[in-house]
Amino acid sequence: MSSHVVQQLVDVDAATRARLKGQKPVAIWLTGLSASGKSTIANALEVALVERGRHTYLLDGDNVRMGLCRDLGFTDADREENIRRIAELGRLFVDAGLIVVTAFISPFRADRALARTIIGEDAFVEVFVDTPLDECERRDPKGLYGKARAGLIKNFTGIDSAYEAPLSPDIRLETLGRSLPEVVRQILGYLDERFAATDLTTSRSAANRE
């Protein structure tokens, strides 16, 4: 970074923006193998939060890779840079007052730890979408495991690139044999408990009526 870059002071701060939105801004960081359920869960979670009157933003792997990170591939170094950029983006959205849901494989512990540092411990929720590899391969909604097994895709997580499962995630979600609403309820329950004082998940209209 150039030593001539000086941070500009601004009058409207993160707390003001959060107060205006009436919510605790956080990043809900989903990590797991391809086809574990990250995008599906992230989408359903965002719907549930919006139904509760929350201001949200969803960052999803494929979308980001088509834009902000389109210059990056799937080598270890590129995956690391991909996650760093997403974390910086997540930090800005949290600073803007939003509840951010991210759905990226984010296979390396060190990169997720960096994301936690960038976004800030008190606003970071690591969610391990814990679906066994053989179940992910069975689901294979995009046919990617088939291609990876045939050698047509290199550096595929779980096949010829490592997935380092979180050792102590904030939430561990099992999806095998569980319905999507059940899984979403587990996340909402956690958010309710951890951020109870800030009333993150209760319906605002319901709260206003009380």
Q: What are residue 48's phi and psi, to 5 degrees?
A: -65, -40
Q: Report the residue closest to ligand ADP, judged by CB.
A: 37
Give the shortest CB-43-to-ligand ADP separation in angstroms: 8
Compute, in degrees rounded to 10, the torsion defined by CA atoms 72, 76, 81, 86: 90
Under 8 Å between Cβ of 36 and 131: yes
Give the shortest CB-156-to-ligand ADP separation in angstroms: 12
**CB nearer ligand ADP, residue 87 or residue 101:** 101
3-class DSSP state for residue 193?
A: helix
The whole-angstrom separation of Cα 181 and Cα 137 is: 23
**CB nearer ligand ADP, residue 67 or residue 205:** 67
The bridge status of strand 56-60 relative to strand 124-130 is unpaired
**CB nearer ligand ADP, residue 40 or residue 198:** 40
Give the shortest CB-182-to-ligand ADP separation in angstroms: 7
**CB nearer ligand ADP, residue 19 or residue 178:** 178
Six-digit token string for 142: 């995009």
Q: Contact residues for ligand ADP (CB under 6 A)?
A: 32, 34-41, 103, 139, 141, 175, 178-180, 183
Instruction: Please list the active-site residues.
Output: 106
Largest CA distance in the chain: 59
